[in-house]
Amino acid sequence: MTDLLSTLRDELAQIVDLGVAARVLEWDQLVMMPRGGATTRAEGLATVHRLAHELFVRDEIGELLDRLEPEVADLDPDSDDACLVAVTRRDWDKARRVPPALQGEMTKLGSEAMEAWAEARANDDYASFRPWLDRTLELKQRYIDCFPATDDAYDVLLDDFEPGMQTHEVRRVFERLEPALRELTAAAADEEPEPFLSGPYPREAQHELSLEVARAFGAADEYFRLDPTVHPFCLSFATRDIRLTTRYAEDDLHGNSLFSTMHEVGHGLYEHGGDAALDRTPLATGCSSALHESQSRLWENVIGRSLPFWRWFYPRFRDAFANALADVPLERFHRAVNRPRPSFIRVDADETTYGLHIILRFQLEQELLFGGLSTADVPEAWNTRMEELVGVRPPNDRVGCLQDVHWSGGMFGYFPTYQLGNVLSAQIWERLVSDLPDAYERVEQGSFGEIYEWLREHLYRHGRKFTPAAMTERLVGGPIDPEPYLRYLADKNASLAAA
Amino acid sequence: MTDLLSTLRDELAQIVDLGVAARVLEWDQLVMMPRGGATTRAEGLATVHRLAHELFVRDEIGELLDRLEPEVADLDPDSDDACLVAVTRRDWDKARRVPPALQGEMTKLGSEAMEAWAEARANDDYASFRPWLDRTLELKQRYIDCFPATDDAYDVLLDDFEPGMQTHEVRRVFERLEPALRELTAAAADEEPEPFLSGPYPREAQHELSLEVARAFGAADEYFRLDPTVHPFCLSFATRDIRLTTRYAEDDLHGNSLFSTMHEVGHGLYEHGGDAALDRTPLATGCSSALHESQSRLWENVIGRSLPFWRWFYPRFRDAFANALADVPLERFHRAVNRPRPSFIRVDADETTYGLHIILRFQLEQELLFGGLSTADVPEAWNTRMEELVGVRPPNDRVGCLQDVHWSGGMFGYFPTYQLGNVLSAQIWERLVSDLPDAYERVEQGSFGEIYEWLREHLYRHGRKFTPAAMTERLVGGPIDPEPYLRYLADKNASLAAA
């Protein structure tokens, strides 16, 4: 490595170290911290984020990147070093465009608006949240104005989560999905919920089974830990230090820890599979939000809600929860954890209706930002759209437009990546099965090592080296495509109907 | 507050925030982290420490302090702001004297030597550790050379833990203690260990009783947590976020979690009792190592091994460990957890022999640094001295000169503060009892609130505002004095003999 490259790596390593420190502070806050620590922790976190940002946007980093241009021109463009320079250049240009004062305002507003949202949701009081939403939208417009004009102003927001992706690409995918998902949803029989859905599912057994499956998927104790939290998430501090979190509903099978654990394990395996040579560089994480979500969904749904998976795991699961499941045959159980069930809450939605929840948010956030929808009209617009898309009308805003934290935190542009992740998960699985035709037979044997290795080789090890479009092209041989996902859903729904 | 003061506070707050981030990383590493995270964590920690140091030693901080001098001259010297400027000036002057290169070398050697020590101890192989000790001593000499010459070069090292204290003051205290402790130790009957010492003490019950006592002492769940670890410690992230750790020996009463928990609660209450106005300043922690240890020892020993405490708590303790204690009367139990037992290991030592372990280390580290003792002769010197002081000769170096981590981490000057803490604990307790004559009656009722409040009012709330000498003067009306401790030990030993 040349001196310039090694200087760049040292500069970036300390910034990455601060980012990891911030994530440890966040994980600790959500999983371990006594309540009393909240105020001090918020201030401490703000400091660490600010210092990392200040270190990154220095002129020296830009000068280093300039001086590295000729060196990099001689390198293989797929080499770690060439990718490091390219990605850092892109990140640095973006970070420099946002004035520190605006960045500070957004951070401060984000944390205050999130508190206001939590209070508003608890009291089903949208009116109290509305001024915060107005202010957030105003700052988002100022944020957008920091960047060169694009065909669609939403591109700027999307770019924070899917670098380089354009809004029309999302729209193309969603326009193909919407009628198909609505049709599958409408065709779903309106039936009484299965009595075994309500448990009992004792917490201790959930925890043990979740750990068992996490380990089987590849989350070894030496590199992973699993802790309870309120809203499950995964944070990575290094390829060899991954924190998974989960929750335990004892009276609702859909909230069983096993499903959220499989989801977070998917995120965790992506991080764990990164090439160790990328450690302590900005490339040491997943490529984009959608590609990350493709992995949580692949392990949770494509594998974890499949009939082969449950052929392997149902005997153990039924034994552990015999009070609920002793008389429930495999097929009936499998149907219950898969069939479309129109409902109000996105995070509880089945695979078929989930996309409709996302399409609603994708439409509304564009209308709020650019289409003249007033924040005053959000509840009505939300409820009407829910009725059209999913077929149910929320009885209040708590289970309607106040259900998600994202907008309060300023995360406009994030929602579509959830559904893009679903779409990609089926596309990637089709590609994987063409290389490993017996993949589902392996799942049925509880053997996941070769599936993990395929994903590591084709996706995980590259970290954030490539753009999402380039990564997708390498991985599945083309751009994002909704057809495999629609085939996957049609097959699944057909198999459920036959059950 | 003036602009200059508020600038200083902002500058220091971000440095304190980085210090807290480092402590969270350390706590996580010792209590939560999967093993795989070790290498990355070490690098991340080094970065956070280095950045905090770099931010602190900037010229700007010195200039701010200079410009604040005239302002501070008009303030009450005991005010928070005056103390903040005085303490920061002192810290800054010290930090600036150590060249970054030497600081980096010491940090690096410290972590490498600690690994070498762990390996050497595991294999009882002092020879393999000796070169690391030589190198550590060499760097310590270079460190001492960074500071103005003092009457006793050891003063420089002591100053890192007891700012302003001089070696001759320690020597005066230890010279008074040594013959008295040797006499008490020699008088201790050589008797068979009580059979109930070896348990069984089931872990779960230890944990519950430890939590119960921690809460009774004042460690509320809203501000504290208690987790298992290998070597118990306490870290504070804020006055309202204190982390206690403990361990659970099931077959050794002396290793019962309750004792280490009471010890760490003492440290934690000191941190918790700091005035909230000192939060996010360098004053928001204890005054010195000895004053900190005085609090761990006061809660663990002066209260937690007292007869009044066990009159309150023994019924519950005996019930929880009925298999070991059902037939053991209170007085016999109390005697077992207090009587002098000459032994090899400092951390397992009783209150009487403990000081002799410290005196040995205090003597040897001075001889190593300044007295011509070769590292080759450490094992022999250690063992001979142990025989003279404590009356037992270690059969190997694992339970001899390799037992403690401190020297490998470069912590010369630290050991004496443990025993100074013991001395201060008795001195402070005498003063407390003169204000609260029924203190032990309260203990016997399981009522600790007024004891905590007295300590908070007279010690905890001041944080690090005053020098240890000034703080001690305020607290007990004079300098450190071994007599109360000797009275305390004599009383205790007399009461045990009578039991």
Alpha carbon distance B334, B350 (integer Å):
13
Q: How far is CA A172 from CA A157, A356, A359, in A?
A: 18, 15, 12
Identify whether the C-beta of residue B359 lies closer than 8 Å to the C-beta of residue B178: yes
Residue A119 lies in a domain: yes
Q: Is the dihedral of CA A131, A133, A135, A138 positive or negative?
A: negative
Are A223 and B34 in contact (CB < 8 Å)?
yes
Q: What is the pLDDT of residue A497?
A: 76
CB atoms within 10 A of CB A43: 17
User: Is A20 in contact with A238 (CB distance < 8 Å)?
Assistant: yes
Q: Using CB atoms, which residue from A34, A43, A50 is nearest to B241?
A: A34
Residue A312 lies in a domain: no
- pLDDT of res. A190: 79
pLDDT-derived band at A498 (thresholds 50, 70, 90) equals: low
Across the A/B interface, how many CB contacts are shorter than 8 Å? Answer: 113
Q: Which two tokens stand for residue B484?
A: 């109360």
Helix (H, G, I), strand (E, B) or coil at B236: strand
> Is A14 in Cβ contact with B51 (below 8 Å)?
yes
Whether the pLDDT of residue A31 is over 80: the answer is: yes
Burial class (CB in 10 A: 0-12, 13-18, 19+), B130: middle
* pLDDT for res B2: 83
pLDDT of B445: 98
> Taking Cα atoms as reference points, which of A472, A81, A454 lies closest to residue A277?
A81
Dihedral sign for Cα atoms in the order B186, B189, B190, B196: negative
Report CA Rg, chain B. Answer: 23
Of A36, A222, A238, the CB nearest to B40: A238
Query: What is the arithmetic mean of pLDDT over A307-315?
Result: 98
Is the CB of A34 less than 8 angstroms away from the CB of B224? yes
Residue B66 within any structural domain of the chain: yes
What span, in angstroms and rounded, lies between the C-alpha atoms of A79 and A61? Answer: 20
Domain ranges, residue A70: 3-146
* Planar angle of CA A320, A325, A326, nearest 5 degrees: 85
Predicted local distance difference test score (pLDDT) of residue B187: 86
Would strands A234-238 and A241-246 be described as parallel, antiparallel, or unpaired? antiparallel
Which of B21, B47, B223 has its CB closest to that of A25? Answer: B21
Q: Between chains, do B47 and A17 touch, taking CB under 8 Å as contact?
A: yes
The SS3 call for residue B405 is coil
- Asked whether residue B305 is domain-assigned, the answer is no
Domain count, chain B: 1
- Give the per-residue pLDDT at A145: 97
Residue A216 lies in a domain: no
Q: Which of A291, A292, A317 lies closest to A304 in space, CA to CA?
A: A317
CA dihedral B437, B439, B440, B444 (to 10 degrees): 130
Cβ neighbours for B282, distance < 8 A, ≥ 6 positions apart? B12, B15, B16, B84, B87, B88, B91, B464
Looking at residue A131, its pLDDT comes to 97
> For the whole model, what pTM was predicted?
0.95
User: Nearest to residue A470, comparing CAs of A295, A288, A297?
Assistant: A288
Is residue A73 included in any domain, yes or no?
yes
Among chain B residues, the shortest Cα distance to A19 is held by B44
What is the band of A300 on the pLDDT scale with cuts at 50, 70, 90? very high
Confidence of residue A499 (pLDDT cuts 50, 70, 90): low
Domain presence at residue B57: yes
**Angstrom distance (rounded) from CA B278 to CA B272:** 11
In terms of Cβ atoms closer than 10 Å to its own Cβ (0-12, 13-18, 19+), residue A6 is exposed
Cβ–Cβ under 8 Å, residues B109 and B410: yes
For A408-463, how does the pLDDT look when each residue is reduced to its tens digit (9 = 90+)?
Answer: 999 999 999 999 999 999 999 999 999 999 999 999 999 999 999 999 999 999 99
| d(C-alpha B493, C-alpha B334), whole Å | 11
CB atoms within 10 A of CB B42: 13
Contacting residues for A402 by C-beta, under 8 A, at least 6 apart: A117, A120, A121, A124, A126, A129
Q: Which residues in B lie closer than 8 A to residue A104 (C-beta atoms)?
A: none
Contacts of A47 in chain B (CB under 8 A): 13-14, 17-18
Instruction: Using CB atoms, pick whichever of A20, A41, A43 lies closest to residue B44.
Output: A20
Question: How far is the C-alpha of B269 from the C-alpha of B218, rounded, in Å?
Answer: 7
Cβ contacts (< 8 Å) between A51 and chain B: which residues? 14, 18, 51
Question: Cα distance from A93 to chain B (closest Cα, Å)?
Answer: 24
Average pLDDT over residues A375-384: 98
Rounded CA gap, A173 and A181, in Å? 12
Ramachandran angles phi, psi of A261, nearest 5°: -65, -45
Distance in Å, alpha carbon of B17 to nearest chain A alpha carbon: 5
Asked if the model's pLDDT at residue A99 lies above 80, the reply is yes
Please give the positions of A annotated as active site: 264
The Cα–Cα gap between B300 and B261 comes to: 8
Task: Give the residues of chain B that fall short of pLDDT 70.
Answer: 498-499
Within-domain flag for A408: no
pLDDT of residue A239: 96
pLDDT for B498 equals: 66
For every residue of A183-244, DSSP letters joined together read HHHHHS---PPPGGGG----HHHHHHHHHHHHHHHT--TTTEEEEE-SS--EEEEETTEEEE
